[in-house]
Amino acid sequence: MNDVLSEFTFPRTGLTVRNRTVLAALTNKQSHDDGVLSDEEHHWLTLRSKGGFGIVTTAAANVTEHGRGWEGELGVWSDHQLPGLTRLASELSVHGAVSLAQLFHGGMRAPIELTGVQPVSASENTDSSMKGVTSRELTHTEIESIIISFGDAAVRCEEAGFSGIELHGAHSYLISQFLGMKTNRRNDQWGGDLLGRSMLLKHIIQNVRARTSENFVVGVRLSPTIRDLGIELHETLQIAQWCVEWGLDFIHVSCWDVYQTKTDQNGQEMSLTRWFSQHLNGRIPIITTGKIWDQEDVKFAFDEGADLVGVGRAGIAHYDWPRQLEGEHSSPTKPPFSVEHLKKAGLSDTFVTYMSRWDGFVLP
Ligand SMILES: Cc1cc2nc3c(=O)[nH]c(=O)nc-3n(C[C@H](O)[C@H](O)[C@H](O)COP(=O)(O)O)c2cc1C
């Protein structure tokens, strides 16, 4: 079994991470309107590097101006964002963390109120959060342009000094809208069977790989299943296998709850992490995330075959969560948290307000 505080080395690049803890991507609404990183966001993330996280991931950051999903979102779509990204990458590194930027496009979930344009997707779709606004099907030329934008953003992140990027292929955003059989009803090269629906992801990976250096770490975050989009576990396992062939450095499984199990058509039941670890059989490192809080959860995740453990809420509440795992019986405190506690953990008023929307996280 892995020890959470032991080093981890990415096999392809040889990059060593000081321990096996990952701050997962966490939207925090703190960026400026033009996507430039704010001092508050810089502070919240760099404090997690000072607090001992092995890997620190930025919030989902949009690769095109119109791919923006919400207010206060970090942008990686233009060079005017480069100075903030450079300052962040440099300070994350000074304090010892490996830095990843999470690259994303909202697709059908990029609200017209925010972008001023009709949302786009693999097909015409109406997402339940979009108040009846239907997305438009992307043309072939537009798809090619989005692929280049992901590549441009990755180049920008490497120039800024990030160790790598995580492609956001989870949680119903553009990449997963292409993967899902319900949201992708195309019959050209970007749709059809599972391989066709995976072409956007494949071409993004190829574009990023071709334009960044050998040592740049590139991974993907995937949701094992998304019912509304028509993404099934056996398909995501197949996509993960292809990702190995397409040269990725890690798969990040977004479980939301690592204890959740899934039964396949043959009646075999396993945790989501184990489905991936068994299927991939050590060919690519796995990060798993979802309700990991203490040593017991960490042990469970490693027993199920994870190489690294990701946290969202535990990392929001405890900037030094990795240090709190020292000692066998340590148990970082759980929600709800007072506003004062969260401010001491480096959250601004904006971020605290956002966290009050998460059930039971902030004390009323
Ligand atoms: C406030 C908040 C913001 C989030 N933002 C993102 C995001 O930008 N990108 C992403 O992939 N996941 C995002 N997630 C999901 C987390 O990365 C994580 O997978 C989820 O919170 C489950 O882990 P946890 O139980 O340790 O919190 C977010 C979660 C929370 C609570």
Is 106's C-beta closer than 6 angstroms to any atom of ligand 1?
A: no
21-23 vs 286-289, strand pairing mode: unpaired
Nearest CA to ligand 1 atom 6: 26
Residue 329 covered by a domain: no
Ligand 1 binding pocket includes 100 (Cβ within 6 Å) = no
272-280 helix and 233-245 helix, angle to the nearest 10 degrees: 40
Other Cβ atoms less than 10 A from the Cβ of 122: the count is 28
Within-domain flag for 270: yes
Residue 234 and residue 341 in one domain: no
Which of 26, 174, 308, 361 for mutating ligand 1's site (highest number of atoms within 8 Å of CB)?
26
Position 131 confidence tier, pLDDT thresholds 50, 70, 90 = confident
Judge whether 318 lies within some domain: yes
Q: Is there a single domain that holds both residue 264 and residue 364?
A: no
State which of 313, 337, 356 you would mutate to test the pocket of ligand 1, scoring each by most atoms of that ligand within 8 A of its C-beta: 313
Structure tokens at 108: 């059908």
Q: Which of 21, 23, 27 to mutate to test the pocket of ligand 1 (most atoms within 8 A of CB)?
A: 27
Question: Tokens in use for 190?
Answer: 């970007």
CB atoms within 10 A of CB 45: 27
Do 172 and 314 belong together in one domain? yes
Closest CA to 342 of 326, 330, 353, 327: 353
Which residue, by CA, sits nearest to atom 18 of ligand 1? 312
Total domains in the fold of the chain? 2
Same domain, 189 and 71: yes
292 found inside a domain: yes
Mean of pLDDT values over 66-89: 98
Per-residue pLDDT reduced to its tens digit, 16-70: 999 999 999 999 999 999 999 999 999 999 999 999 999 999 999 999 999 999 9
Looking at the fold, whether 94 and 185 belong to one and the same domain comes out as yes
pLDDT at residue 266 greater than cutoff 90: no
Confidence of residue 4 (pLDDT cuts 50, 70, 90): very high
Structural domain for 364, as ranges: 334-364
Give a yes or no: residue 255 inside a domain.
yes
Locate 263 and state its tokens.
Answer: 């039964």
240 and 347 housed in the same domain: no
Is any atom of ligand 1 closer than 6 Å to the C-beta of 179? no
CATH number where 33 lies: 3.20.20.70
Task: State yes or no: cis peptide before 336, omega within 30 of 0.
Answer: yes
Q: Are residues 233 and 360 in the same domain?
A: no
Residues 247 and 363 in one domain: no
Does residue 3 lie in a domain region?
A: no
**Shared-domain flag, residues 156 and 138:** yes
**Does the residue 219 lie in any domain?**
yes
pLDDT tens, residue by residue, 278-334:
999 999 999 999 999 999 999 999 999 999 999 999 999 999 999 999 876 678 999
Same-domain status, 194 and 129: yes
Any domain includes 1: no
Give yes or no: residues 112 and 148 share one domain. yes
Contact 291 CB / ligand 1 (< 6 Å): yes
- Would the CB of 27 count as within 6 Å of ligand 1? yes
Do 248 and 355 belong to one domain?
Answer: no
